[in-house]
Amino acid sequence: MITAPWILLGLLLGGGISSGLTILSMGDETAVSLGAPVQRLRLIGIITTLLLAGTSVSLAGGISFLGLIVPHIMRKIMGGEYSKVIPASVFCGAIIMLLADVVGRMLNAPYDTPVGALVSVIGLPFFLGLTYKKRGEKKSE
């Protein structure tokens, strides 16, 4: 009940700027030429992302990294067509979660290692690599 208003606010914000984000994905020059308020869209997008990501982490813990990692991996493998990426993300996310659970049970037997800890160990290097890759692309432009 505590997180419901924040999730609702994040979904409303995200839905409200979704068409603007699609235009923004075409590049800044194109977005400006189409009349999109680039800075405002970015600010609202960042706030929305932080709101939804923070809420998901508060509810599910480190496991929510999985929902952020898998679609990136699937987009690289399957291409940009979301009708393929989304089902593949669901299937592969389930497989990765099952594997993490099995590894967590075997890693320190007879004690269980939390699945969220294992997923976070996978997710952190992935996002650091993604961040540094993006920075490298901007510097080379």
Q: How buried is 102 (Cβ within 10 angstroms: 0-12 exposed, 13-18 middle, 19+ buried)?
A: exposed
Domain boundaries of the chain, sorted by first residue: 4-140
Q: Measured between alpha carbons, how far is residue 57 from residues 8, 97, 111 in Å? A: 16, 16, 24
The answer to pTM > 0.75 is no
Tokens of 113: 């290692």
pLDDT, residue 137, reads 59
Positions in the chain short of pLDDT 50 = 140
pLDDT, residue 8, reads 92
* Of 71, 68, 78, the residue nearest 124 (C-alpha): 68
> Given CA atoms 104, 3, 45, 17 in this order, what sign does their dihedral have?
positive
pLDDT, residue 124, reads 78
Residues 55, 3: contact at Cβ < 8 Å?
A: yes
